[in-house]
Amino acid sequence: MAYGEEAKIGQWSLDKLAFLERYLPAYLRATKSALHKYYIDGFAGRGEWVNKRTGQKVAGSAAIALQYAQQFTHLFFVEFDEERAEHLRELIRIHNASHKATVFVGDCNLLLSEVVKRIHPSAPSFVFLDPSSDQLQWKTIEMLSNWKTELFILFPLNMTLIRYLPKNGKITEWARVRLNSVFGTAEWEHLFQNTPRSRLKSELLTLYTNRLRSLGYEHVNISDVFKSDSGQKLYYMIWVGKHPVGKKIMDKVFERQSDQLTLF
- Banded pLDDT at 53 (limits 50, 70, 90): confident
Query: What are the tens digits of pLDDT across the range 116-134?
Result: 999 998 999 999 999 999 9
Q: Is the pLDDT of residue 258 over 70?
A: no
Pairing of strands 8-9, 38-41: unpaired
For 133-162, what is the mean pLDDT? 97
Q: Which amino acid is at 174?
A: W
Q: Is the pLDDT of residue 178 over 50?
A: yes
For 151-156, what is the mean pLDDT? 98
pLDDT above 70 as % of the chain: 94
Closest CA to 72 of 114, 128, 110: 128
Question: What is the reported pLDDT for 264?
Answer: 31
Hey, what CATH topology would domain 5-165+209-260 get? Rossmann fold (3.40.50)
Give the residue extent of every domain in the chain: 5-165+209-260
**Length of the chain in residues, anyone?**
264
* Lowest-confidence pick of 8-17, 200-209, 216-225: 8-17
For 104-124, what is the mean pLDDT? 96
Beta strands in the chain (DSSP E): 8-9, 38-41, 48-51, 57-59, 74-79, 101-105, 125-129, 149-155, 219-222, 226-227, 233-241
pLDDT above 90 as % of the chain: 77
Question: What is the reported pLDDT for 48?
Answer: 84
